[in-house]
Each structure stands twice: as C-alpha cells, then as structure tokens.
Structure 1
Amino acid sequence: MTINMGSADRVIRGIVGVVLIALVFVGPQTPWGWIGIIPLATALIGNCPAYSIFGIKTCKTKPKH
C-alpha cells in the first residue's frame, strides 16, 4: 500500500473526520456522524482507495537520481 495523499489533504480529511464523529455526541446526535471514520482512517493511513482507482496522487514524489 503506497501513500497517495499529501499532507494538506491528510490534515483536511482528519479535521472533517473528527468533526463528523463529534456530531454523534454533540449537535444533532445522529448516527450518520460515524461516517467520519472513513476520512479519519484514510488520513491516518495516508492512502485513499478512491485515489488509487482513479490514479490521483496528491503527495509530492521524491525525484530519483
């Protein structure tokens, strides 16, 4: 499994995931907030399966010498 997400992408996904999960406990308190586990997990792992399918890569690649 390769890393295909850049640091900005990972930070944004992490924030969105935490906010969605917080909605389970505060605010409307609906179980839909648990969907926040997905962006939080992809942020922690650094790999997005959808990016792999579509060939998207937001991380900076190191040039090989």
Structure 2
Amino acid sequence: MQINIGSAERALRLILGIVLVALPFLAGLSALWTWVSVIVGLVLVVTGVVRFCPIWALLGIRTGGRE
C-alpha cells in the first residue's frame, strides 16, 4: 500500500472526519443522517490515518507520496 494522500489532504480528512463523527451527537440528526455522518466520518478518519485512499488509487490520483 503506497501513500497517496499528502499532508494537507490528510489534515483536512482528519478534521472533517472528526467533525462528521461528532455532528450527530451535537446536532441531534435523524437516524439516517446520523449513520451517514458517522460512516463517512470514520472512512475519512481511517483514510487520513493510513494515508491511503483506495478510490484515489483506482483513479490514479496522488496528492502526496514521498514525504
């Protein structure tokens, strides 16, 4: 697994992911939007932590790599 997420994108994914995971608990979203928000948030956090996005790999996109 090669790194394909750069530092700036990593920071953005981590921040946005944490916000999306916390949002349902702070805003009282409906059940459907709670699940959507938490799942998308967790995917962003995991891809930010491991610095690899499978969708970017399929599309041949690299925002980082040799850092």
Q: Same fold (TM over 0.5)?
A: yes
Cα distance per residue 1:1-40 (max 9 Å; x no partner): 0100100000000011000000131113423221210000
1:42 aligns with 2:47: yes
Runs of 4+ in 1 over 3 A off after TM superposition: none
Partner of 2:61: 56
Cα distance per residue 1:34-61 (max 9 Å; x no partner): 1210000000000000110000000154
Give the conservation status (yes or no) of the 8 Å contact 1:23–1:33: yes
Give unpaired runs (5+ residues) of structure 1: none
What is the identity percentage for the equivalent residue pairs of Structure 1 and Structure 2? Answer: 39
Partner of 2:11: 11
> What number of residue pairs does the alignment pair up?
62
* Structure having the larger proportion of residues in helix: 2
Larger radius of gyration: 1
What TM-score comes out, normalization by structure 2 length?
A: 0.82
Determine which structure has greater relative contact order: mean sequence separation of CA pairs < 8 Å that are 6+ residues apart, divided by chain length.
2
When the two chains are superposed, the root-mean-square deviation of aligned CA atoms in Å is: 1.5
